[in-house]
Chains A and B, each alone.
Chain A
Amino acid sequence: MTPVNGTQPVLEDLNVIVAGQGGDGSLTVVTLLAELMRDYGFNVYTERDVLSRIRGGHTAATVRAFSGDRYCIGSNIDLLVALDDEAIEKNTRHLDGNSIVIFDESGGKLTNGSLPKGIKLYSAPFNRIAMRTMRRELYRNSIAFGVVSRLIGLEDEALKKIFKKRFARLGTTVLDYNLEALDLGFGIADEFGLTNGAGLYKIKKKKAANKLLITGNESVALGFIVAGGRFYAGYPITPSSEILESLQKWLPMFGGVARQTEDELSGINMAMGAALTGARVMVGTSGPGFSLMQEGIGHAGSAEIPIVIVDCQRAGPSTGMPTKPEQSDINLMIFGGHGDFPRIVLAPGHPEDCFYLAAEATNLAFKYQCPVYISMDQGLSQNIATVDPFDLEKIEVDEGYQLDAEDLKKLDVYKRYAHTENDISPFAKPGTPGGFSLVTGNEHDEWGLVSTDPDNRVQMMKKRMNKIEHAKEHLPEARHFGNGDEKIGFIGIGMTYGVILEAMEQLEAYGVDTQFLQLRTIWPVLDEVNEFINRCDKVYVVEYNAVGQLAHLLMHQGADSGKIIKIIKYDGIPFRPREIYNRVMEENKSNNAGKKKTKKKRANSK
């Protein structure tokens, strides 16, 4: 960042962190800022670092606004809005000499040495001003927001517009008070010499960006609906609750139902009940709830009931760290449950992917009559990002192998579990004349009658497991980044997507060329994985868990284990691109590596 009195640079990449105590409103400020920057035409990504409590404890929310495509927070923070001392302590490690700090000095001024050298500090008693003038602590955020936006160089009017949009639904009094607080903030900014339009950056308002500002959870909910999803069951659990909340708001518009159940056992079974009638169903959960659902999911596999399961992974085991990201249920999704049953596991990498893969999962479940997972993680679930508007034309509702009364009349025999060429059996919705059937998780014959006949057992097991073989060629392919001849590869899923891409740019700028396979189907493991690994000399598998579950999965499926290197993290904090960059640089020092390439455009080093 350039000092205020210098020439104002054009804003290309800005990372702002707002930190304080839980309940201070860091998330609100960041969400508002995200919306504002999106309206200015920037791409936006946000991240939250919160505790599993409503009040107190250190919390931080980060927003990144940039010109290009980014799906992660940068390695350095440009602007820290610290609502207390702890916010300074916890976040100085992200600051560098060019960072700026806005500090709420209500609890006392900062002592010398609490900030790295060179950092510019704007300090004011926001909380005290809020209490003195407005009698309410909560207006502190709006006051601070006035200073933040002036500092960045946003227009006062644009801010007021966002405030009106955001607070209007809370009533005119709330809106008026917040606008008043904002003006107080502008006043403080004036005293700092930060007048309207004289901020750090020259910000050109781009033409209407036409971007959605959305989380992965919301995108999954919407993709499910578009592919015909009409029934959802869930129990509140972080970080999946927003799926339940969104669908409770939206499904009634479509004549559907989202039901909050008494527990996850009820949730998975209620969804299966709805699926029996022919409705397309989904459940969403996380860690502990996902463990509780295991018996039900196996049952869906055995009884051939179509169901989509969204696992918003958080740090486990047990109650773990509920608000922190992890990708540590990979084993449970792929190998969980007693007995052998077919399943498909899809893994989106950003909210747009979430939308299309949720639609795909809904269709796949219906087509192959088996459980289909959407593997999410806390970052992907809850972080807000800008994406292109979803294209409804791209999604078709797969009708599956359904029989109606007319179809049934033409048949001599109807067997719910009939053996067929592609191992998918016909299905008639209850209520259809002539389609009597029995559905059970017990081993059964083609009629659905319980059977322990050894030949039947083998045939039925093969029929169910073979469905996955048939599905293979129709499953979402990985996305490949790079030319294909780079010797160093990355493999990752979910929220590692954005960090790996940015690390690749940074590596390229210093002469290390890499390629990246963003997996979108992790079970069954598709041929693309080994093809990719075979092309590389070494492959970094980047993931959020303690043992390298994804790496182990790939090795178990025949990947050359000599080439695989794990990059793992399980401390609850998302990777920054610089961490990946450093790790790879350390291990790949060569003659041409390490020197900055001058010809190529320098990658963003945030």
Chain B
Amino acid sequence: MTKTFSPARPIWCAGCGDFAVQGVLEKSLDSLNIPREQLMFLAGIGCSGTIQNNIKCYGYHALHGRVLPTAIGVKLANPNLTVVAAGGDGDGYAIGAGHLVHTFRSNPSLTYIVMNNSNYGLTKGQPSPTSPLGYKSNAEMDMDAILLGLSLPSTTFLARGFSGHPEQLGQLLVAALKHAEEGKGFAFIEVLSPCVTYYDTHREWASRVHNVDEDPDYNCTDRGNAFSKSLEILNNHKIPIGLLYHGEHVSLESLSLKEDCIPPALQDLNSPDSVENCKKIIQSFMG
């Protein structure tokens, strides 16, 4: 066996929610028998942005906020790969918020895990877009990425897990990975992952989560129901977790690539067909 990098030891503080995410993710990948060399694991910047270093994979450390466009590039160039993107709430909802909207719109078949700790942990606790109004003189209302996703008609998989509920988180991650593996589009999963050092929300969140998977009134396949129920839960000062929306929409890669074609990354660049096509284009500029 060729020796490759030895996975790093996590840099996280003891008790950080991200440990649960990593453990559950590894189990989920194994349960789906995804060969690790097929896994392209991209992460953003922040505490969560080091997760790819800790497992055997083809790993990539993206620029701050740019993990989604990078992951889309990977998926379009080689849709055979299992593409998983990860990052924090600052990375995904502040500096990278624009890309989140457009990834919801384009529906590429990849999994995106946002480890939401409601603050900027790596830079020592500044407020993030999910910090509540008033947290460390935060003057902005916190945002809910699931509601944002629900407002865009092209979203297909929206879920929220809690690091304190690893069993449900595992089910959600398996469902998310499957959704993307089957080419059904963008699997978005936010994980409530408390920061033990700067903003320890573990107990608070444990008391506030409302599991919609066990709520008979919540219909995750009905966008209108999902939106109004989610709002209702939030208005009751609870946080909806579980599979919050599951729908259908054409995937980006199926619109961008011809069916059954060889991925751009794996083509024979000297094929006779390719030469013929070049000649055809050149001919079109002649008289």
Binding site for B on A (CB under 8 A): 35, 38-39, 208-214, 218, 222, 225-226, 228, 230-231, 233, 250, 252-257, 259, 261-263, 265-267, 269-281, 295-296, 299, 303, 389-390, 392, 397, 408-409, 411-415, 429-442, 447-450
Contacts and interface: CB of A to CB of B under 8 A. Distances in A.
Given A389-B282, A392-B275, A430-B37, A259 B76 contact: yes
Contacts of A270: 69-70, 72-73, 76
A437 B269 CA distance: 25
B279 interface: yes
Given A250-B281, A436-B37, A437-B58, 5 more contacts: A230-B267, A257-B257, A265-B69, A276-B74, A430-B74
B151 interface: no
A434 B77 contact: no
B258 interface: yes
B60 A436 contact: no
Interface string B1-24: 111111010000000000000000
Given A254-B277, A430-B40, A218 B285 contact: yes
Nearest to B67: A269
Given A257-B256, A273-B71, A438 B61 contact: yes
A269 B65 CA distance: 10
Contact of A212 (B98, B101, B278, B282): B282
B63 A279 contact: no
Interface in B86-100: 98-99
Given A390-B282, A392-B278, A279 B264 contact: yes
Contact of A277 (B8, B61, B265, B277): B265
Interface string B266-287: 1101100011011111100111
Contacts of A212: 282, 285-286
A442 B84 CA distance: 20
A274 B76 contact: yes
Interface string B248-259: 000000001110
Contacts of B262: 255
A279 B5 contact: no
B73 A436 contact: no
Contacts of B3: 412-414
A408 to B, nearest CB: 5
Given A257-B257, A429-B265, A38 B5 contact: no
Contact of B264 (A39, A256, A434, A435): A256
Contact of A449 (B5, B72, B279): B5
Contact of A214 (B66, B78, B280, B285): B285
Contacts of B35: 433
B66 A276 contact: no
Interface residues of B, number: 65
A273 B61 contact: no
Given A279-B77, A279-B78, A389-B282, A432 B37 contact: yes
Nearest to B71: A273
Contacts of A273: 42, 60, 69-75, 77
B159 interface: no
Given A274-B77, A278-B265, A442 B69 contact: no
A438 B97 CA distance: 25
Given A214-B285, A430-B37, A430-B40, A435 B61 contact: no
Contact of A269 (B50, B69, B267, B278): B69
Contacts of B4: 413-415, 434-437, 447
Contacts of A214: 285
A433 B102 CA distance: 33
A442 B176 CA distance: 29
A601 B98 CA distance: 62
24 contacts: A211-B287, A231-B264, A254-B267, A255-B257, A256-B264, A266-B98, A269-B66, A270-B73, A273-B42, A273-B71, A276-B60, A277-B263, A279-B264, A296-B66, A412-B2, A413-B4, A429-B78, A430-B81, A436-B37, A438-B5, A438-B53, A439-B61, A440-B61, A447-B5
A400 to B, nearest CB: 11
B251 to A, nearest CB: 13
B36 interface: yes
Among B3, B262, B282, B287, residue most surrounded by chain A Cβ atoms (within 10 Å): B287
A397 B271 CA distance: 11
Given A222-B282, A434-B37, A436-B58, A269 B63 contact: yes
Interface string B38-66: 10101000000010110011111111011
B38 to A, nearest CB: 6
B58 A266 contact: no
A218 B59 CA distance: 35
Contacts of A441: 61, 63
A397 B274 CA distance: 12
A38 B72 CA distance: 43
B74 A274 contact: yes
Contact of B59 (A263, A389, A439, A442): A439
